[in-house]
Amino acid sequence: MTRKERLERLFAHRETDRPAVYVRTGFPANDASYDRHKRLLAEKTELKLLWDATGLQKRIPGSKKILKPDGDFEIHIDTLRLPAGELTRERFVGKAGSAAQGHDMTKKFFISSVRDAEIYLSAEEPEQTGGFDGYFETEAKLGDAGIVDVGIGNNPAGLVWELCGTELLAYWSADERDLLHELLKIQQRRWMKLCKILIDNKIGKYFSTLGHEGVTPPIHGPADFRDFITRYDQPVMDMLKNAGGRIHVHCHGSIKSVFDEFLKLGVDVLHPFEAPPMGDITAAEAKKRAKGRITLEGNIQIADMYEKTTEEIREQVRGLKRDVFYDNEGLIICPTASPYMYNRGGDSYANFEAMVDETIKS
């Protein structure tokens, strides 16, 4: 069974010879300490190469200014220019080569008031821009090593969460619910338009999205998840599924009380599925509910790849095989996030190698 065939069968909920093993590839920039990791992944793991479809839609016009004060952080000031006015966001971004590299903290979000939301709602409908050559080039590059992951960006709730931030989204879920729905509707229209472009041009079979964790417990309950996510995602998910697509969702956090919503949406692969203290569902519980309908991708906490022993990592892999892969289907072993610690590749390589080796051994 080739690596591509293994992933195709896992996305289709069919039996495989072994679990797949995959690592997200958002490595620290310009960090040679992870070169060995990249070679290991290319040679031995199932690959999912991202082709970002969001570039097919013209973005809201804007500009960026970068300030570089003393210390480990730069200040990035992003401006959006809309028909009704301008919106700005300020972020602290770790400087390259500093101890803060890879850290990104938002000081001010684009939307912080009702007036800001009204300005954003004046945005014009996006036009298509760019073509599809990159997709076919990525597909040819992969061959039998894996699949092309067509990234369709944040779902509507994830986009609104990104605009408002966690705190304001929580307040407005009680105080400005109608306004949130207006923001969600405009994002859904854009998202549906993007996915229709892909379907009409026969681009992609494997689609990935994220943003759901912005509306998971404990800050939001199942009712909010249904109202802000299922309500707006379902038509888009149905459209992709009816066209023969398969869907991957990335969602951290406590998902036990909303797990059935992922089933309802038709999610094919869910990453991750976190046990306490990071989440609230064990591998065995997730498998019981997902069996035959969702492939589980995970679930080794990324910090463990830096902090645990190789034998502890191997035991986690064996535990996932025991709890999830007992029926020879439905498991992609994967850390919960990309390797992220700058200049720490040497501290984690042995654990990544152990994870890969323990997964592929018979």
Residue 18 has pLDDT above 80, yes or no: yes
Nearest to 344, CA basis, from 26, 21, 32, 42: 32
Give the mean pLDDT of 182-209.
97
Residue 130 has pLDDT above 90, yes or no: no
pTM of the model: 0.96
Give the mean pLDDT of 309-327.
98
Give the mean pLDDT of 122-126.
94
CA-CA distance, 214 to 39, in Å (whole number)? 34
> Which pLDDT belongs to residue 43?
97
Let me know if domain 3-58+131-164+191-360 sits in CATH 1.20.120.140.
Answer: no
Residue 138 has pLDDT above 90, yes or no: yes
Residue bearing the bigger pLDDT, 248 or 100:
248
3-state secondary structure of 332: strand
> Which pLDDT belongs to residue 178?
98
Q: Which of 87-101, 164-178, 199-213, 258-272 has the lowest mean pLDDT?
A: 87-101
Question: Which amino acid, residue 106?
Answer: T
Q: What is the mean pLDDT of the chain?
A: 96
> Which pLDDT belongs to residue 254?
97
Angle formed by the axes of helices 231-242 and 156-164, to 10°? 140
> Which pLDDT belongs to residue 155?
98
Tell me: the pLDDT tens digits for 149-193? 999 999 999 999 999 999 999 999 999 999 999 999 999 999 999
Phi, psi at 95, each rounded to 5°? -70, 145
Q: Which residues contact 171 (CB under 8 A, 6 or more apart)?
A: none
Residue 362 has pLDDT above 80, yes or no: no
Residue bearing the bigger pLDDT, 49 or 131:
49
CA distances from 157 to 37, 150, 180, 199, 340 (A): 34, 19, 9, 22, 26
Residue 354 has pLDDT above 90, yes or no: yes
pLDDT band at residue 30 under the 50/70/90 scheme: confident
Residue 321 has pLDDT above 80, yes or no: yes
> Which pLDDT belongs to residue 96?
85
> Which pLDDT belongs to residue 103?
87
Tell me: the pLDDT tens digits for 40-49? 999 999 999 9
pLDDT band at residue 99 under the 50/70/90 scheme: confident
Which strands sit side by side in the sheet containing 269-271, from one edge to the other? 20-21, 331-335, 295-300, 269-271, 246-250, 206-210, 146-154, 47-52
Give the mean pLDDT of 196-210.
97
37-65 burial, b for 16+ CB within 10 Å, e for fewer? beebbeeebbbbeebebeebbeeeeeeee
Residue 98 has pLDDT above 90, yes or no: no
Each domain of the chain, given as residue ranges in start order, spans: 3-58+131-164+191-360
CA-CA distance, 347 to 349, in Å (whole number)? 6
Residue 29 has pLDDT above 90, yes or no: no
Tell me: the pLDDT tens digits for 51-94? 999 999 999 999 999 999 999 999 999 999 999 999 999 999 99
Which strands sit side by side in the sheet containing 85-94, from one edge to the other? 62-67, 73-82, 85-94, 104-108
